[in-house]
Structure 1
Amino acid sequence: MAKKFLLLLFLYSIITPLTAQTSSATPKENKWVLVMAKGTGYDLQRWRTRSYFPKDEIKEGWDDGYQITSLTHGAGQWALVMSKTNKYGLQRWRTRSYYPKEEIQQGWADNFAITSLLYADGTWALVMTKNTGYTRQIWKRSTDFPHARIDQGWSEGYKITSLTHGDGKWVMVMSKGTGYTNQRTRTSIEFPSTEIKTGWNEGYQITSLNFVNGFWYLIMSKGTGYYQEMWRTRFNFPKDEIKKGWDDDKSISYIYYAE
């Protein structure tokens, strides 16, 4: 009996730490998050990964009639997705070592709207676009997750169109004229697969996903027009999963890298 007890205790001491590590290490094991769907309005797509900001690839895409629809950074590389779509008009991008509030104000004055904003590799990268349908935008920068500002924005008819964390701050962009009919936020320690499935069952689609300080922050929206949405998490950039999605007539709607 004593030997059996010691054996069970030994096995428990080995298995328990491994189980805990597996449970809490989701972002370390599955860093790239890919979301694809039908109904995005993106007719053709291309992607590029580069160790430097892909300004030449962006120009090449623009020259070929593509527009920036996703931009992120992870594992030492920028990941750019460009699409052929009638959803967007003229675009511009800016990179700055400081938060680009003056560039945003100038873009708004020129009738551009924020369509991408992130902080990576010591750089703020801003993409602004014309003819998005957005009628007005606001942004909020805060140390803590902006729960109160989200509720206020929703009460005023705004919807979240960009949410990122960088340089120690949350930066949220809310817009009017999105077409979204409703939004929800969910926070969890584990990858929010259950919350995503629940949202899908209730008619919501993924529009933002972040992993910050050990928590996943999920934004789901109604009225996106997306359907048959799917997600995949992979340690390496998910090029094979993208190809499979394209073969199934799905388009990339969102790519994220969990640090």
Structure 2
Amino acid sequence: MRLPLKAVAFLLLIICSQHAVAQTRQEVFAALQQIVNRAVGEKIDGNSLFSKEPDKITKQLFTETAVAVYTKNMEKKSTEWIHRYSNISWNDIFDHDVFTEYKNSDLQIVKVRFKKSFKSEFFPSDEAADDDPSSSDYFEFYIRTKDKAEFEKNMNLLYSFKPKKQESAFNAQIRKFTKDQTISWLQTKLNENLYAGQYGSNIKISINSCQLTVTYRGLVRSYEEILPTAILAINKYGKFEYSTNAASIRTTTPDSFDDGKKTFGKYSGAVAISDRNEEIMENIACALKHLSGFCNGTNNSSTATAVPGNGSTTLNQSGINNSSTGVTTNKPPVSVSGESGAQKNNNSSITTARWYVHFSRGKDLGMQAWNSSLDFPSAAIDSRWKSDYYITDITYGGADRKWFVTFSKNTNYTDQIWRLADSREKIMTAIKDIWRKDTSHKITTLSYINNQWIAVTSKGSNYKSQVFFHADEFPETKIEAYWKQNYDITDMAYSPTEGWIVVMSLGGNYTQRYRKFALEDGWNHSRILEDEKSKFYISSVAKTKTHWYVLLQTDSKLTSSAYNYGEAINVSEINPKWDAGYNIDKVFYIPGKND
């Protein structure tokens, strides 16, 4: 018998609604309630010492106001008992573990931990409440083993509803500390909050701008941990976290079971920050990153030299289609970022060439360096790679016709390749060759400058997917089509003799617009300043035979931005702006009307 179309549609609606992804906090709790309901009736290890029968789950409650587990022994006259937890601060949820129930492999025990304690009760169901409630910072309940994947999805959503914490206001003060002030402050805070595991004792800490050395006595042996100041973060467990295997630990009392050799990892060993206060952890992390900026005197140099990493670096240079090649395989540790201010010229229409340096806060690019040179700086790039910096911007121009390359440490990149080519066809072939070998490489810079094409690809970017296409005229229709698919323009370049290449990527999460300024009208700086008020900043600029094409975008990561604008890059302002917490985001050379 065939069902009417309306009946089929109704059944599909029911099926889809049962598997719909929860979106709101209330929907997540409702979904979790459904999951814990399915575990009702399952047998669990009994709590009674005098009964040979197991307990059975008779009811479970999972709401914003309370979590409760009802259990009853399977003997006839047993009492139903309730574990109930209330006054829970869901914004303080910390983590959770899932493990198989001792005697029932079809059932999982879930333990959820919080940063703050709440009311805990244990009482028989024929009573209204526990006469003598206690407090706890965790609770346990049950789910079926086959529901584990669904449960994890909803728990991840529950974590996502935690309010995003604003950066500690005290971090701004830390970034103003001198090296000695930073070391003194860290010494005090680490003495108060550092521990070395359950059995760690006799902890001693020494600090310099490049590393912490922590010695302590364990249960049997004594240990030394060396922790670089250039950390990635202090994670929620208080561990020091790095991008590479930078942390080391060794025993200082070797024996037949441990030869005392160093072992390296991305996390500190037993050493951690004991206080779960997020602000203290954040302040200590900020101070360590700031201190790393003084390692090898980097905060006293306008080019900001990096702290070398511990991994090995492999560098290759070869010619492919008349293009040069550089490759690094070392991921950078994170360091402190810098800051900048702005200079604004309010001329509404300018026909001479100008530089824009866009500074931003919020993207957390870590320590930065820049290089300026007449020739393409392949040697400088190799040198920076060895110090764990990655290219985040390349441009060329000015009255003296120089390259200007910006490097950053905290990029999440794990590998980087650059190509130079003298034709559009060759640069596209070079990019395809890279993708043929490793699709995880994504284009992070593409330009046509100094009569040649340059592309930089990076492994570890946030881009989930990427396309590039060429056209003789600006491809507005194709761009609009990809915008509708949530792709963003992540670079665009134009050659007067060969036309356009546009790169579009999925995962940037920008809001974009573009403007055209006719050459005959001059560069419209006032229009740029108007866009700046709306948080739209220059992302890419290309000059054709008749127009400047300007891509502008907003970036949710940015907390503040500013331009340095003029006939030359004022390099003397870069260091003060780094010190104020900004990064160099992008540098643009805007060719004049007749250039």
Shift of 1:167: 4.3
Q: Which moved more, 1:183-192 or 1:145-154?
A: 183-192
Structure that is richer in strand per residue: 1
In the alignment, what sits opposite 1:161?
490
Equivalent pairs counted in the alignment come to: 235
Deviation digits for residues 50-103 of structure 1, max 9, x if unmatched? 111111000111100100000011132111110111332210111111221121
Larger Rg computed on CA atoms: 2
In the alignment, what sits opposite 1:83?
408
SS in 2 for 1:108: helix
In the alignment, what sits opposite 2:501?
171
In the alignment, what sits opposite 1:253?
585
Deviation digits for residues 228-251 of structure 1, max 9, x if unmatched? 211122212331343342232211
Shift of 1:27: 4.6
- TM-score (normalizing by structure 2): 0.37
- TM-score (normalizing by structure 1): 0.82
**Which one of the candidate residues 55, 63, 72 is aligned to 2:395?**
72
In the alignment, what sits opposite 1:232?
564
1:97 and 2:422 equivalent?
A: yes
Shift of 1:174: 0.4
Distance 2:414 2:572 in 1: 30
In the alignment, what sits opposite 1:8?
none
In the alignment, what sits opposite 2:379?
56
CA RMSD between the two structures: 2.2
Contact map agreement 2:348 2:524 (CA 8 A) in 1: no
Distance 1:232 1:213 in 2: 27
- The letter for the 2-side match of 1:174 is M
* Gap change, CA 1:247 and 1:191, over 3 Å in 2: farther
Contact map agreement 1:162 1:174 (CA 8 A) in 2: yes
Give the structure, 1 or 2, with the largest relative contact order (CA under 8 Å, sep 6 or more): 1
Distance 1:23 1:205 in 2: 17
Aligned-residue sequence identity (percent) comes to 26
Contact map agreement 2:516 2:547 (CA 8 A) in 1: yes
Shift of 1:165: 1.8
Contact map agreement 2:365 2:583 (CA 8 A) in 1: yes
SS in 1 for 2:388: coil
Shift of 1:31: 2.0
In the alignment, what sits opposite 1:209?
541
* Gap change, CA 1:36 and 1:59, over 3 Å in 2: same
Distance 2:421 2:523 in 1: 31
Shift of 1:256: 1.1
Q: Which moved more, 1:56-65 or 1:108-117?
A: 108-117
SS in 2 for 1:242: helix
Contact map agreement 1:32 1:234 (CA 8 A) in 2: yes
Counting only pairs closer than 5 Å after superposition, residues 25-40 of structure 1 correspond to structure 2 as: 26-28=350-352, 30-40=353-363
Distance 1:121 1:108 in 2: 25
Shift of 1:196: 3.7
Shift of 1:197: 4.1
SS in 2 for 1:174: strand
Shift of 1:190: 4.7
Deviation digits for residues 194-245 of structure 1, max 9, x if unmatched? 4444444444343223344463322222334113211122212331343342
**Which one of the candidate residues 468, 474, 499 is aligned to 1:139?**
468
